[in-house]
A and B are shown apart, each in its own frame.
Chain A
Amino acid sequence: MATTAAPVLPDGHRPNVPSAARRFPGIGSYEQVDREIAGTLSPTLGWFAALGIAILCMLVGATTWTYQIHEGLGAAGYQPPVMWGVYIVTFVFWVGIGHAGTLISAILYLFRAGFRTSIYRVSEAMTVFAVMTAGLFPILHLGRPWKFFYLIPYPNWRLIWPNPKSPLVWDVFASLTYLTISSTFLYVGLIPDIAILRDREKNPIRKAIFAQLALGWRNSDREWRHFTRAYLFLAAFATPLVLSVHSVVSFDFAMALSPGWHATIFPPYFVAGAIFSGIGMVFTIVIPLRKAFKLEHYITLNDLDAAAKLCLFTSMVVGLAYVTEFQVAWMSGNNFEQDYFWNRVFGQWAWAAWIMLICNCVVPLSLFSQKLRRNTKWLFFLSLTTNLGMWFERFVIVEPSLSHEFEPWQWGTYRPTWVDYGILLGSFGWFFMWFLLFIKQLPVMAMSEVKETLQPRLRVAHAHAGDVDHDLTEGTVYPDDTGAPH
């Protein structure tokens, strides 16, 4: 006889605050996991509406890009000396967003952080789509997008290869490797779950598609044995990759001699910022998702609390990096550096710098409060300010340096045009279009991994099983989304 009771409280609510004894107190059986997660795949009116908005935004971006190709890159608001604008800012922004996914799925996997289980699939998908989005921007920035293949390492007709000492070539290698490994990691993790969908599916066409994608997976001991090892090694490879990719992106700046860019702090500064912004985007996606799909008992308040602590920590690292930059400029004795940083915070770019500082350093301090870390409405608001702040961080890195270099006669300014804004909007539409399509075709949560944390059915009761069931039937109040457990 099974020893795990269906953990539904008398008032119909599912508890969503884990305890040491039970990771997912609202989940009672393997079948419940399949039923509830597979249930999220049915399209709803809200999903169609969201997809429609995303496609509309994407079309705005595509139309704007077409206009830019016709009119030339001058339509995008570039004016000497500022020849890197919103496209490079947004490229770095989306690469950064793509970092939290592999951080959560790979690094937290190696560290055995339990809270990753419920959010890593969404984060991995977010990573892949964010890197796909980021990849568009260097091509957009070229002005002649049909020349993008020049960076791919193969020789031209005179047998000259791209310069392997150039950070732009490193960037191509790093971004493509990251996209390939992240996509592979996402797909490999999905195989057992696709097999579940294959076995449940009634529609013959969908069943045939799932059967192809599942590669004939049968959940045998042989398959699991090699799968778990391969997943571990892939995580071990992906971990340094996460750290390397944004370091390489930072070299695009740090290898140049411009004031504000030529600093050895850039790699760790960029990596911390990327993780911070990625966690912000995870909240932006996960919080509405758990509400819309009624997954509060999977993505528990403790999971959000733990992710919020990571957000707070990375925010403080980013804040430290900002302070260090100022300190290095102050102590360098270099007038150009000092003048540049003064101009950034109190001069021409003060408005952008203060948006960055308030959003990235001041607002996240609220996460010292446990009550706010467990308040989903606050976390969602904070995720929006984080996204805003991190976009402005990249703006503040790119524009002030180029507009305020060594010679005063070279100083200038930069003002994005409607073309920049249209393409920026289009990038969000592109990202969310893919994401929304993903969540209705494939499970948003790793079903087999959630099952791994559950107690299996046993004929002979486990020593602790009685305690767990006792807790659940005592009428404990588990508030949903508000405050700490009573």
Chain B
Amino acid sequence: MQGVLGAFHELDSAVEAIEELKQNKVGDITVYTPTPRHEFEHVMKHPPSRVRVFTLIFGLCGVTFGYWIPVWISDYWPIVVGGKAIATWVPFTILGFEVMVLIGGLMTVFAMFGLAHIPRLTTTVGYDPRFSSGHFGVWVEADPDRVDEAMTILRKHGAEEVRRER
């Protein structure tokens, strides 16, 4: 993996640089920002996150499992308690709900980890500690013959620092 990293102090400069890099199709772009900014979402034009699919699927699995546990337990050793039916859906709704939240919530987080590619072992290539503080970063994964073009675009839009990395 090789490319060019540009560090910007100003948000609009970074956005303009990304626009031009995308227009010229220099390479794959990754943006680093200390906080989520809608300006980057607009310029990067990513599709919506697929986290919601996992939330829905595992939430449904959770509620099914949450109902199944008490029904199975009650049916496995049927003891009539308080004259109630062996399997009663009303009190089991509580367990169904809790297990839905537990499994759905945890799997949402694991899905986020998977889709965002974390945990990762290293942050060294194409990253600078300034990007967690106050700077915006643009990493362009470019072929060797287009690296200079990418550097020129980043500098033209006011990048504070531009460097090659591999």
Where the two chains meet, the residues of A that have a C-beta atom closer than 8 Å to any C-beta of B are 2, 29-31, 34, 153, 159-165, 169-170, 173-174, 177, 180-181, 184, 188, 192, 195-196, 198-200, 215-230, 233-234, 237-238, 240-241, 244, 248, 251, 448-449, 451-452, 456-460
Which stretch from B19-27, B120-128, B144-152 is at the chain A interface? B120-128
Q: Which of B12, B92, B101, B118 contacts A237 (CB 8 A)?
A: B101
Asked if A216 meets B118 with Cβ closer than 8 Å, knowing A184-B105, A234-B105, the reply is yes
Q: Would A233 and B51 count as touching, CB distance under 8 A? A: yes
Q: Using Cβ atoms and an 8 Å threshold, which residues of chain B touch A459?
A: 10, 12-13, 158
Q: Would you call B61 an interface residue if the criterion is a C-beta within 8 Å of the partner chain's C-beta atoms?
A: no
Minimum distance in angstroms from B113 CB to a CB of chain A: 7
Q: Would B133 and A234 count as touching, CB distance under 8 A? A: no
Asked if A161 meets B119 with Cβ closer than 8 Å, knowing A170-B91, A174-B98, A180-B102, the reply is no
Specify the chain B residue showing the minimal Cβ separation from A35: B133
Report the Cα distance A230→B50, complex, angstroms: 9
Q: Would B131 and A161 count as touching, CB distance under 8 A? A: no
Number of A-B contacts (CB under 8 A): 195
Interface size of B in residues (CB-CB distance below 8 Å): 70
Specify the chain A residue showing the minimal Cβ separation from B82: A165
Asked if A192 meets B132 with Cβ closer than 8 Å, knowing A219-B34, A457-B11, A459-B10, the reply is yes
Minimum distance in angstroms from B62 CB to a CB of chain A: 10
Q: Would A2 and B10 count as touching, CB distance under 8 A? A: yes
Q: Using Cβ atoms and an 8 Å threshold, which residues of chain B touch A456?
A: 10-11, 37, 136
Q: Which 8 A-B pairs have the closest CB atoms?
A: A216-B120, A164-B70, A199-B129, A230-B112, A30-B134, A215-B119, A229-B49, A451-B35
Asked if A237 meets B132 with Cβ closer than 8 Å, knowing A161-B73, A225-B49, A449-B35, the reply is no
Q: Using Cβ atoms and an 8 Å threshold, which residues of chain A touch B32?
A: 218-221
Report the Cα distance A238→B101, complex, angstroms: 8
B56-96: contact bitstring with A at CB < 8 Å (1 yes, 0 no)? 00010000000001100110110101101000100110110
Q: Would A226 and B98 count as touching, CB distance under 8 A? A: no
Q: Would B70 and A233 count as touching, CB distance under 8 A? A: no
Q: Would you call B164 an interface residue if the criterion is a C-beta within 8 Å of the partner chain's C-beta atoms?
A: no
Q: Would B34 and A222 count as touching, CB distance under 8 A? A: no
Residue of A31, A233, A248, A451 contacting most chain B CB atoms (<10 Å): A233
Q: Would B11 and A164 count as touching, CB distance under 8 A? A: no
Q: Would B77 and A226 count as touching, CB distance under 8 A? A: no
Report the Cα distance A168→B95, complex, angstroms: 12
Minimum distance in angstroms from B12 CB to a CB of chain A: 5
Asked if A170 meets B94 with Cβ closer than 8 Å, knowing A177-B101, A177-B102, the reply is yes
Q: Using Cβ atoms and an 8 Å threshold, which residues of chain A touch B11?
A: 456-458
B103-143: contact bitstring with A at CB < 8 Å (1 yes, 0 no)? 01110110111011111111100010111111011000000
Minimum distance in angstroms from B3 CB to a CB of chain A: 13
Report the Cα distance A233→B106, complex, angstroms: 11
Q: Using Cβ atoms and an 8 Å threshold, which residues of chain A touch B132?
A: 192, 195-196, 198-199, 219
Q: Which of A2, A219, A230 contacts B51 (CB 8 A)?
A: A230
Asked if A221 meets B74 with Cβ closer than 8 Å, knowing A215-B113, A458-B10, the reply is no
Q: Other than the known A218-B123, A227-B116, what 8 A-B pairs have Cβ atoms closer than 8 Å?
A: A160-B77, A164-B91, A164-B92, A196-B133, A200-B129, A227-B112, A457-B9, A457-B10
Q: Using Cβ atoms and an 8 Å threshold, which residues of chain A touch B163?
A: none
Report the Cα distance A55→B73, complex, angstroms: 43
Minimum distance in angstroms from A262 CB to a CB of chain B: 14
Q: Would B116 and A222 count as touching, CB distance under 8 A? A: yes
Q: Using Cβ atoms and an 8 Å threshold, which residues of chain A touch B123?
A: 216-218
Report the Cα distance A307→B66, complex, angstroms: 36
Please report whether the interface of chain A is mostly helix, strand, loop or mixed according to DSSP. Answer: helix
Report the Cα distance A177→B105, complex, angstroms: 10
Report the Cα distance A460→B15, complex, angstroms: 12
Report the Cα distance A457→B122, complex, angstroms: 29
Q: Would you call B52 an interface residue if the criterion is a C-beta within 8 Å of the partner chain's C-beta atoms?
A: yes
Report the Cα distance A30→B130, complex, angstroms: 11
Q: Using Cβ atoms and an 8 Å threshold, which residues of chain B touch A448?
A: 34-35
Q: Using Cβ atoms and an 8 Å threshold, which residues of chain B touch A163?
A: 79, 81
Q: Would B51 and A165 count as touching, CB distance under 8 A? A: no
Specify the chain B residue showing the minimal Cβ separation from A211: B123
Q: Using Cβ atoms and an 8 Å threshold, which residues of chain A touch B99?
A: 173, 177
Q: Would you call B46 an interface residue if the criterion is a C-beta within 8 Å of the partner chain's C-beta atoms?
A: yes
Specify the chain B residue showing the minimal Cβ separation from A191: B118
Q: Which of A2, A29, A188, A218 contacts B131 (CB 8 A)?
A: A218
Report the Cα distance A226→B136, complex, angstroms: 19
Report the Cα distance A80→B44, complex, angstroms: 69
Q: Which of A2, A30, A153 contacts B69 (CB 8 A)?
A: A153
Q: Which of A31, A159, A218, A241 contacts B101 (CB 8 A)?
A: A241
Report the Cα distance A449→B36, complex, angstroms: 9
Q: Would B73 and A165 count as touching, CB distance under 8 A? A: no
Q: Would A225 and B134 count as touching, CB distance under 8 A? A: no
Specify the chain A residue showing the minimal Cβ separation from B74: A164
Q: Which of B30, B74, B119, B133 contacts A220 (CB 8 A)?
A: B30
Report the Cα distance A216→B49, complex, angstroms: 20
Report the Cα distance A30→B36, complex, angstroms: 13
Q: Would A460 and B73 count as touching, CB distance under 8 A? A: no
Q: Would B134 and A221 count as touching, CB distance under 8 A? A: no
Specify the chain A residue showing the minimal Cβ separation from B9: A457
Q: Would A248 and B37 count as touching, CB distance under 8 A? A: no
